[in-house]
Amino acid sequence: MSLISNFAKITEESQAEYASMKDAVLSRTDVLGDSCEGDNLLAFCDNASFMKYLRDTAGMRGKVKMIYIDPPFFSKANYEATLSVSDSAVGGGRKVRHLAYEDVWEKGMEDYLKMIATRLLFIKDLLAEDGTIWVHLDWHSVHYVKILLDEIFGDRNFINEIIWQYKSGGSSKKHFARKHDNILVYGKSSKYYLKLPKEKSYNRGLKPYRFKGIEEFCDDIGWYTMVNMKDVWSIDMVGRTSGERTGYATQKPEALLARIIEAASCEGDIVGDFFCGSGTLAAAASKLGRRWICCDSSPVALASCIKRFLDNEMKFTFLIEEGHAGKIEIREDADKNKQMTLFPEKKSYTINI
């Protein structure tokens, strides 16, 4: 039986999982401090149960202006992160590689799509009436996920498919080099908020055409007008020597998230990312004056986020779901120095934060 013929079954099972989901049981970690009720949230837990908690317990239904997610792509691969860990034995630090997340699905594409659909249902509940959802994928699954988005948000609320074009990555002798990702954009309703950024359009040659009401400019390249940005975005990936680099697998550049945040929200609005990875949305949102809610179930992702946020003096409340607490331990000594230990019950990594 083809995958397309099973879409009714996929949506039915995801609806059942959505309806039976239990709230996350969360505890607050005060050792990170500096935050208060209503500020930014970072949660270490399953994202579906966390979104149900936000909707039903935290009163966040219809409150989030923009949600961006960068879920697994169905790449059938596992991804690692580089951790800079303390090493008392050598009196300094060292770098280690550890599994960040798995993108291997034992039951195949159906299982993957059911996971995505369940989370999209909760995302729709959290979005404001004028809110938007941005789903970051690539060629592996984008065409199937668009069918789910059409079903859940309505094909009439489709806004754009953004092509993020980059130069990094390998190539193959069997196909053209794959140098872009796809970002599907939908509105919660037809009243969605979107402030289109402008870009230069060099389509006037060496001399401007004098059209009434059209302002033209000139630079070293030639004459141009300012037009609404197109749906192909050329933004470099995070470079190996970039100060922005965290060492987390599949880290996205702040420039990409900043463009999305500025287009889809206003200062003071709440934005969210429920597959937050290294925390790029939160980092960009803090610089742009937005409040944010982020979540991930990977201890390595959370370690990357916490270190990044504290290094950048970002204020946030850290919440841990019951059952996850044993994977990250945060301590503060008498001199207010903080350390974070991953997997304290197993082979552990300690990070100065």
What confidence category does residue 91 fall into, taking pLDDT thresholds of 50, 70 and 90? very low
Distance, in Å, from the CA atom of 236 to the CA atom of 83, rounded to the nearest integer, reads 23
Q: Domain span at residue 323?
A: 26-193+230-352
Q: Residue 16: inside a domain, yes or no? A: no
Asked whether residue 327 is assigned to any structural domain, the reply reads: yes
Whether 289 maps to a domain, the answer reads yes
In a domain, 269, yes or no: yes
Contact 152, 203 (CB under 8 A): no
pLDDT band, residue 31 (cuts 50/70/90): low
The least confident of 37-41, 130-134, 258-262 is 37-41
The answer to whether residue 223 sits within a structural domain is no
Is 206 contained in some domain? no
User: Which distant-in-sequence residues (6+ apart) come within 8 Å of 64 by Cβ?
Assistant: 126, 127, 128, 131, 270, 271, 272, 293
The answer, yes or no, to whether residue 5 has pLDDT greater than 80, is yes
pLDDT at res. 109 = 93
What's 264's domain CATH number? 3.40.50.150
pLDDT for position 75: 85
Q: Which residues of 196-212 are buried (b: 16+ CB within 10 A; e: fewer)?
A: eeeeeeeebeeebeeee
Mean pLDDT (whole number) for 332-340: 76
If one counts the domains in the chain, the total is 1
- How far is residue 69's CA from residue 250's CA, in Å, rounded to a whole number? 13
Tokens of 290: 């937005």
Q: What pLDDT does 90 receive?
A: 40
In a 13 Å sphere around the CA of 8, the CA atoms on its Cβ side amount to 2
- Read off the tokens for 64: 């989030």
Higher pLDDT, 340 or 71: 71
Contact 263, 196 (CB under 8 A): yes
When pLDDT is cut at 50, 70 and 90, the band that residue 103 belongs to is confident
In-domain check, residue 200: no
pLDDT score, position 342: 82
| Mean pLDDT over each residue of the chain, to the nearest integer | 88
Which band of pLDDT confidence, cut at 50, 70 and 90, is reported for residue 89? very low
Average pLDDT in the 15-41 region?
Answer: 79
Q: What is the pLDDT of residues 47-61, one digit of tens each?
A: 999 999 999 999 999
Other beta carbons less than 10 A from residue 66's beta carbon? 30
- In this prediction, residue 198 carries a pLDDT of 93
Q: Is residue 219 within 8 Å of residue 246, measured between CB atoms? A: no
